[in-house]
Amino acid sequence: HHLALDAVVDLDVPGPTISRHLYGQFAEHLGRCIYEGFWVGEDSDIPNTAGIRADVVEALRELSVPNLRWPGGCFADEYHWQDGVGPRDHRPRMVNTHWGDVVEDNSFGTHEFMALCELLGTEPYVSANVGSGTVQETSDWVEYLTRGDDAPMARLRRRNGRDEPWKVTFFGIGNEPWGCGGNLRADQFASLARAHATYARNHGDNRLVRVAAGASDDDYSWTETLMQQVATLGDAEPRDLFQAVSFHFYTFAGTWGAKGSATEFGRDEYWATMRKALDVRRLIAGHAAVMDAYDPQARIALALDEWGTWWDVERGTNPGFLYQQNAMRDALVAAVHFDAFHDNARRLRLANIAQTVNVLQSMLLTDGARLIRTPTFHAFAMSTGHQDATALPVRERSPRAHHVVGGTPVATVSASASTKDGAVLVSLTNLDPDAAATVRLDLRGAVVADPVGTVLAADDPAAHNTVDAPDTVAPRPLDGVRLDDGVLVAELPAAAFATVRLTLT
Ligand code: AHR
């Protein structure tokens, strides 16, 4: 065991609040996410509440999902919400051109989504159609969702069975407009986004967080155009239109054309994955720096509203359905993101992993009536204590351990900490798949006691869960965690994500 991290945490120097919304989820009409994953219909043999899978809801409640983004993704920009309300057997059909070219019957629409949010106890993040929809549709949808009086859309909602308006927290204006969302130039999108956001009104006491669809990866010029043309409108009506600007970043080992397998990979692909995942720090910092120039007080949030691993689809599955397994490696990618989120919580206040069930880096995978929790699910479950906690920066006393990947050093340990409700929660990740790691954290400025460790680890980073072996990768107690005069010492197995909870005395 070598000392991989020797760091200091000042318990009396609080950082920013870690928004719970950094732990958001994403459910698109894509492959088997909505249909089969969430929605089985009222007549299904699979236990359900008004058509929504009971086992999926029960599992997700363990994650305290703070918000759920829907209906896309690329799908959002060809979705016409009026097709998804009213009696199900009268709803028109459409073609989901982005994802498998399948016919969508609109049986899961606005009411079903809002019912799902209520079952999960989560806040909705609804994304408007800017690519192929109209400003009027956007305006009407917000009125339908959030208005309480006898306005035309409120009346229509009542006719469709819902009296009270819903609360809608996040409202997305567009999605990847530089690509599937219309192939627009940044200034074109800015003009469209301003119009849509103007008519996405705050009705009654509902206050929308309007999210302008943002850049891919490190396209900082897109963010700069948005900050110039969308986010800050000058002194007259400062920041009335948008409350957040987003970007998307996916992790894979290879290239977009050949991303690599979710479960069959060697050490080179493993390390390439980690190097890519850790790059999220550079991207967050880069977008934040652009925003700082226009909005130094950080009133406008940065949102990473799509992130996660993207592998080649599993053999024999529809390439348009983006179905992939989820291994211990995926949980480590998630852990690395969480630490980056915590360290950047002042500006980054919304994030959504793609996607919750059966698509990309999922929490849950279903097979007929069966359900498994993925390693990524467990990483989220172990991290719920960071939601709305106060970040405690981890400062290293000496350089942390590194592995050299293609001439670039990649840190093999990652850590973050927060405090809430009289407790301190520390997250510790050992990315090295071949060696255990010792971590020392000098917890100063307050007295802590009773460390309780939990670890998610596997002998092989490709280890994963299946319906026949659903608990191959599952959390267990982390033995040997100790406090030496205020210094937390933990031994992490290879390829491990651990949390340690301590009590403030
Ligand atoms: O999450 C899958 C897809 O990835 C989304 O629909 C799109 O926004 C992104 O390209």
Pocket test for ligand 1, best of 104, 176, 259 (most atoms within 8 A of CB): 176
For residue 322, give the ligand 1 atom closest to its CA: 2
CA 414 – ligand 1 centroid, Å? 27
CA 134 – ligand 1 centroid, Å? 21
For residue 98, give the ligand 1 atom closest to its CA: 6
Same domain, 6 and 61: no
Question: Where does residue 2 rank: exposed (0-12), middle (13-18), buried (19+ CB within 10 A)?
Answer: exposed
3-state secondary structure of 229: helix
Q: Which two tokens stand for residue 329?
A: 């490696």
3-state secondary structure of 483: strand
Catalytic, 176? Answer: yes
CA distances from 433 to 41, 163, 367, 371 (A): 43, 54, 30, 28
Instruction: Assess whether the C-beta atom of 74 lies below 6 angstroms from ligand 1.
Output: yes
Pocket test for ligand 1, best of 74, 183, 357 (most atoms within 8 A of CB): 74
pLDDT of residue 238: 43
CA 51 – ligand 1 centroid, Å? 25
Same domain, 30 and 64: yes
Question: b/e map of 125-138 (b: 16 or more CB within 10 Å)?
Answer: bbbbbbbebebebb
3-state secondary structure of 174: coil
d(CA 423, CA 305): 29
Read off the pLDDT band of 229 (50, 70, 90): confident
Same domain, 147 and 184: yes
Same domain, 115 and 232: yes
pLDDT at 237 exceeding the cut of 80: no
pTM above 0.95, yes or no: yes
Same domain, 283 and 396: no
CA 222 – ligand 1 centroid, Å? 18
Read off the pLDDT band of 230 (50, 70, 90): confident
pLDDT at 459 exceeding the cut of 50: yes
Mean pLDDT value across residues 495-505 = 97
Mean pLDDT value across residues 123-145 = 98
d(CA 34, CA 22): 22
Pocket test for ligand 1, best of 249, 304, 306 (most atoms within 8 A of CB): 306
Q: Residue 451 in contact with residue 482, Cβ under 8 Å?
A: yes
What is the residue type of 455? V
107-111, 193-197, 339-343: range with lowest mean pLDDT: 193-197
Instruction: Assess whether the C-beta atom of 72 lies below 6 angstroms from ligand 1.
Output: yes
Look up the domain containing 187 and give its range.
20-91+103-251+259-301
347 within a domain of the structure (yes/no): no
Instruction: Assess whether the C-beta atom of 73 lies below 6 angstroms from ligand 1.
Output: yes
Instruction: Assess whether the C-beta atom of 330 lies below 6 angstroms from ligand 1.
Output: no
Question: Where does residue 504 rank: exposed (0-12), middle (13-18), buried (19+ CB within 10 A)?
Answer: middle
Same domain, 297 and 398: no
Same domain, 421 and 470: yes
Same domain, 158 and 192: yes
Torsional class of 100: left (φ above 0), alpha (ψ -120 to 50), beta (otherwise) = left
**Ranges assigned E (strand) in 38-163:** 48-49, 52-53, 67-70, 94-96, 102-104, 123-128
Same domain, 436 and 290: no
Pocket test for ligand 1, best of 25, 26, 28 (most atoms within 8 A of CB): 28
Catalytic, 78? Answer: no
Per-residue model confidence as pLDDT tens digits over 283-328? 999 999 999 999 999 999 999 999 999 999 999 999 999 999 999 9
CA 74 – ligand 1 centroid, Å? 6
Same domain, 297 and 422: no
ipTM surpasses cut 0.90: yes
pLDDT of residue 233: 59
Same domain, 121 and 84: yes
Residue indicated by tokens 């197995």: 493
For residue 73, give the ligand 1 atom closest to its CA: 6
369 within a domain of the structure (yes/no): no
Domain harbouring 295, CATH code: 3.20.20.80
For residue 306, give the ligand 1 atom closest to its CA: 1
pLDDT of residue 2: 77
340 within a domain of the structure (yes/no): no
Instruction: Assess whether the C-beta atom of 131 lies below 6 angstroms from ligand 1.
Output: no
366 within a domain of the structure (yes/no): no
Please pick, among 176, 314, 396, 491, the residue that the annotation labels catalytic. Answer: 176
114 within a domain of the structure (yes/no): yes
pLDDT at 240 exceeding the cut of 90: no
Per-residue model confidence as pLDDT tens digits over 63-84? 999 999 999 999 999 999 999 9
φ, ψ of residue 301 to 5 degrees: the values are: -85, 150
486 within a domain of the structure (yes/no): yes
What residue owns the CA closest to ligand 1's atom 7? 73
What residue owns the CA closest to ligand 1's atom 1? 354
The CA-to-CA distance between both ends of the chain, in Å, stands at 31
pLDDT of residue 236: 47
224 within a domain of the structure (yes/no): yes
> How high is the mean pLDDT of the chain?
96
384 within a domain of the structure (yes/no): no
Instruction: Assess whether the C-beta atom of 24 lies below 6 angstroms from ligand 1.
Output: no
Per-residue model confidence as pLDDT tens digits over 368-381? 999 999 999 999 99
Domain harbouring 428, CATH code: 2.60.40.1180
Read off the pLDDT band of 1 (50, 70, 90): low
Please pick, among 143, 269, 306, 491, the residue that the annotation labels catalytic. Answer: 306
Q: How many CB atoms lie within 10 A of CB 472?
A: 16
Question: How large a percentage of the chain has pLDDT more than 70?
Answer: 98
pLDDT of residue 503: 98
3-state secondary structure of 343: helix
Q: Which of 21, 31, 119, 73 is nearest to 357 (CA)?
A: 31
Q: Residue 430 in contact with residue 438, Cβ under 8 Å?
A: no
pLDDT of residue 235: 52
Number of domains in the chain: 2
Same domain, 213 and 70: yes
Q: Which of 301, 330, 363 is the last residue of a domain?
A: 301
pLDDT of residue 54: 98
Q: Residue 57 in contact with residue 99, Cβ under 8 Å?
A: no
Alpha helical stretches, state H, 102-134: 110-120
**Ranges assigned E (strand) in 390-466:** 390-391, 394-396, 402-405, 408-411, 413-420, 423-430, 437-444, 448-457
